[in-house]
Chain A
């Protein structure tokens, strides 16, 4: 399974080792880690809760991974996304891409994140001193995903 959704934290080193499995064809690994920030839109954020659509979220992520594999000459992809309540500095999401060369791995990693942001059904609610609020989708995320349209 190239995709995992979980409440627990993840160990980046262990995930990379699992993806590599000593495969000598791998010459490059690109990874992205998304973290909870302590502020958003000018307000301090003390906590964030992530909701998802069980079943659809996994399917959407698997499709994004398949899409990345069809677009670039890469070897493997792993996506781990957390749900539940998280605090500033916590890890939210991990994307790892392995390939023979860095160019394809970097591009595929960025593509997976851009599509995840706009296609995978997750929703964030954050707690601020003024109360809890749902995070609004950003148009800049749509723009980032549209770069890859073809």
Chain B
């Protein structure tokens, strides 16, 4: 068992095992018409990059807003992460545009 298997095993413990929460902010929330959703983690989706592709395949605004050319940032459990980051059941994933505070 490597570390990712261990993390998966621990994260799978909660009642709603298998599902992730996805949040959308700012331009993305507006364009997709959705602020958040619960999604059973598809077996084929192991990483953030794969999740982005999975969502993009919904077509329409999803295809436009999540296209590879679009600057989209991703956070897992409230930490910004790169696309190869592994997903685990129970994760809170957020998609948003580059930040513009201050």
Contacts and interface: CB of A to CB of B under 8 A. Distances in A.
Chains A and B belong together in one complex:
yes
Interface of A: 34, 50-53, 55-56, 59, 81, 92-93, 113, 116-125, 134-137
Q: Which bracket fits the contact residues of B?
A: 10 to 19
Contacts of B99: 117-123, 137
Contacts of B27: 123, 134
Contact of A121 (B30, B71, B75): B75
Contact of A123 (B75, B79, B100): B100
B3 interface: no
B101 A125 contact: no
Residue picked from B23, B27, B80, B99, most chain A C-beta under 10 Å: B99
B78 A123 contact: no
27 contacts: A50-B101, A51-B25, A56-B78, A56-B79, A59-B79, A92-B102, A93-B101, A116-B101, A116-B102, A117-B99, A118-B99, A120-B99, A120-B101, A121-B25, A122-B99, A122-B100, A122-B101, A123-B25, A123-B26, A123-B27, A123-B101, A124-B101, A125-B26, A134-B27, A134-B100, A136-B98, A137-B99
A116 B99 CA distance: 9
Nearest to A83: B101
B87 interface: no
Interface in B63-77: 71, 75
